[in-house]
Structure 1
């Protein structure tokens, strides 16, 4: 369905099915990190300064969890359920660390539909593509467009 010329509506509550899923693979580059740091004014040197990070337990700069959160929420906004949807609740854990220039593979899977709120529950799992280490896991409740 189109609104105007280029604006489409995502799947409605009725169109989303339990089991719907999407996968995204994203390599974390300097540009994303610098944009994140600029937008949030986050000055944690662990995220960008190689000399500082080399003196920590991590040994090198790590990717901020909020950046990973943004990749997840933008995937929901763009694809499942898509444009017009909004995030109602996030419950994410970050058991692993992702370093600069590594690639994350994220799977989003609809696991429940909640009629009372016209919302869907999406299970999230993100793994480091090269090591298969679990980086992020949890659930998101999204409200599809009406």
Structure 2
């Protein structure tokens, strides 16, 4: 499904995204390496074994990016101009390699752009949940969206 145009969104509309993803240790190590994050809690199994978690935590920015990415196909694929920001981001439960993440999105606000005619701002609330239906990340994302052509 292609992304939706600004006018096709309605406040309160909910999406339960079909695509899910099981995260791996390699995802964690590669993302941490690519972002120059040397935190032992993400990349050092021996160190992580001594923490309260007993194993490496998935990098939270990977989790946030994955959750937003899993929402794209149903919402903004090909119709977004730019992400304007994320706010009120929280990580209530840890994510570990082997967890399967799914996403639910709700449209929280809409407004026409004041400075860019033919475009509008959609505020999405994305919630990432693990295989136990525990919320592992929640964020509000403002996206600048295309209006319908013509």
TM-score range normalised by the length of the shorter chain: 0.7 to 0.9
SS of the residue corresponding to residue 75 of structure 2 reads coil
CA displacement at 1:90 relative to structure 2: 0.5
Change (3 A) 1:73 1:37: same
Partner residue of 1:90? 86
Rounded to whole Å, the distance in 2 between the matches of 1:75 and 1:30 is 19
Matching residue within 56, 63, 75 for 1:61: 56
Rounded to whole Å, the distance in 1 between the matches of 2:58 and 2:113 is 37
Partner residue of 2:125? 123
Rounded to whole Å, the distance in 2 between the matches of 1:134 and 1:77 is 19
SS of the residue corresponding to residue 146 of structure 2 reads coil
Partner residue of 1:99? 96
Counterpart contact for 1:22–1:80, Cα < 8 Å? no
CA displacement at 1:38 relative to structure 2: 2.4
TM-score, scaled relative to structure 2: 0.79
Q: Which runs of 5+ in 1 are unaligned?
A: 1-7
Counterpart contact for 1:36–1:67, Cα < 8 Å? yes
SS of the residue corresponding to residue 122 of structure 2 reads strand
Matching residue within 15, 20, 25 for 1:21: 15
Q: Which runs of 5+ in 2 are unaligned?
A: 115-119
Partner residue of 1:11? 4
TM-score, scaled relative to structure 1: 0.81
CA displacement at 1:144 relative to structure 2: 1.4
- 1:110 corresponds to 2:111: no
Aligned length: 138
SS of the residue corresponding to residue 57 of structure 1 reads coil
